[in-house]
Structure 1
Amino acid sequence: MKTLVLVGHPNIEQSRMNKAWADRLEKEENVTVRHLYKEYPDMKIDVEREQNLLLEHDRIVFQFPFFWYSTPAILKEWQDKVLEFGWAYGSAGTKLHGKEFLVVTSTGGPSGAYRSGGFNHYSMSELLKPLQATANLTGMRFLPSYVEHGVRVLNDEEVDDSAEKVAGYVVDEDLKRGR
């Protein structure tokens, strides 16, 4: 299985968690890691190039820090441009059918903040519904997300451990059955 990891972090060099994840994933066979802010600092997405990469891979991963209950701007721009009507969705838009879609994200707050009655009032499952809907619309299978909470307080060993877990999770061929 070939996996495409689209990293959407505007300051990856200052990120302990997302940088560790990306660095670790780059060591995996059959995994292509793309840093979208480095590729497109002007936010001008090369649609044809990105669509060709999607066609070459079986599993698509969005990796990002959870910003304001959503993805960073580059991932939204990427979706708006790359997932075109007639290509990714619509009666003739079947290019992504059968592919797998996975979210790998980090939060600064603790897991308890992301639940009914918690600080943010909603679970991560609820907050990630727009990405699940995107997968549904484009005919991709939405896999269980990997969420690392409280990354601001993790020590170096915990960050390294998380990077190992993410690498194993992203390449797990049995992931489609749930975790």
Structure 2
Amino acid sequence: MKIMVIVAHPNLKGSRANQALAHELNNYPDIYVRDLYQEYPNWEIDVEREQRTLLLFDRIVFQFPFYWYSCPPLLKKWFDDVLTYGWAFGPGGDHLKGKQYIIATTTGGPENGYRSGGSNWFTISELLRPIQTTLTRCNGTYLPAFVTYNADQATDDYLLQEAKKYVDHIQAPERVLVH
């Protein structure tokens, strides 16, 4: 299975958690990693290039910090620009049919804050539904997200453990992730 990870962090060098996750991916040459903010500092997304690149992979992972209950703005723009009507969905929009998608995100809050009655009122799965719906609308399979909680207070050892779990998660067969 060919895996691409699109890292979308506005300040990756300043993020211990996302940097740890992305750094661990460098140990796996079969995982193609891209830094969206580094590739498009001017926010002018090369839509045709992005669409061609998507066609090369079976599983696409979107890694980003979860803030204000969504993804960073450049990733949202990427979704809007790249996943177009007639290409990704709608009549003739079957180019991404059968692709698998995983969200990998980090939160500053604790896991118990993401539940019914918690400080965020909803589970992380519920809060990720708009992205899930976008990706499934593009004829793909949305697989369970990987979430690192308490990222801003995490020790280096915890982040290293999370990074190893992250790689295991994104490489796991669909039948293991969905049961």
Query: Residues 84-140 of structure 1, C-alpha deviation per residue, up to 9 Å, x if partnerless?
Result: 111000020000000100000000000111111111111101100011101211000
| Distance in 1 between residues matched to 2:10 and 2:175, nearest whole Å | 28
**Identical positions, percent:** 45
What runs of 5+ residues in structure 1 fail to find an aligned partner?
none
| Distance in 1 between residues matched to 2:49 and 2:27, nearest whole Å | 23
Normalising by structure 1, report the TM-score.
0.96
Question: How far apart are residue 31 of structure 1 and its match?
Answer: 1.0
The count of corresponding residues between Structure 1 and Structure 2 is 179
| Distance in 1 between residues matched to 2:62 and 2:16, nearest whole Å | 17
| Distance in 1 between residues matched to 2:101 and 2:131, nearest whole Å | 9
SS in 2 for 1:34: strand
The amino acid across from 1:142 in the alignment is Y
1:4–1:59 CA contact under 8 A, matched in 2: yes
What runs of 5+ residues in structure 2 fail to find an aligned partner?
none
RMSD, aligned α-carbons: 1.2
Question: How far apart are residue 30 of structure 1 and its match?
Answer: 2.1
| Distance in 2 between residues matched to 1:14 and 1:175, nearest whole Å | 35
The amino acid across from 1:103 in the alignment is I
The amino acid across from 2:131 in the alignment is L
Q: Does 1:66 align with 2:82?
A: no
Question: How far apart are residue 154 of structure 1 and its match?
Answer: 1.1
Question: How far apart are residue 176 of structure 1 and its match?
Answer: 5.8
2:32 is matched with 32
Cα gap change, 1:176 to 1:81, in 2 (>3 Å): farther
Deviates further, 56-65 or 21-30: 21-30
Normalising by structure 2, report the TM-score.
0.96
SS in 2 for 1:117: coil
